[in-house]
Structure 1
Amino acid sequence: MRILLVEDDISLGDTIQAWLRLDGHAVDWVQRGDSAQTALMTHRYDCVLLDRGLPGLSGDALLGQLRAAGNGVAVILITAFNALADRVEGLDLGADDYLVKPFELEEMSARIRAAVRRGANQVSNDLVHGEIALNLDTKAASLRGAPIALTAREYNVLYALLLRKNSIVTRAQIEETLYGWGDEVESNAIEVYVHNLRKKFGSDSIVTVRGLGYRMKTDGE
Structure 2
Amino acid sequence: KEKERIESIKKWRAARDQAAVSKARQALERAAVSNNDGDRGLIEATIELARAGGTVGEWTDSLVRVSRGRYTPPILETSVGVGALNVPAAPTTRKIRIALGKAGLDGHINAIKLLAHACMQAGMEVVLAGFKQTPEQMVATALEEDVDVLAISSLAGAHMSIARETIDLLKSRGAGDVSLVMGGIIPQADRKALLDLGVKAVFTPKDSNLGEIVGRIIAIAGRER
Instruction: Normalising by structure 2, report the TM-score.
Output: 0.46
Richer in helix (by share): 2
Larger Rg: 2
Richer in strand (by share): 1
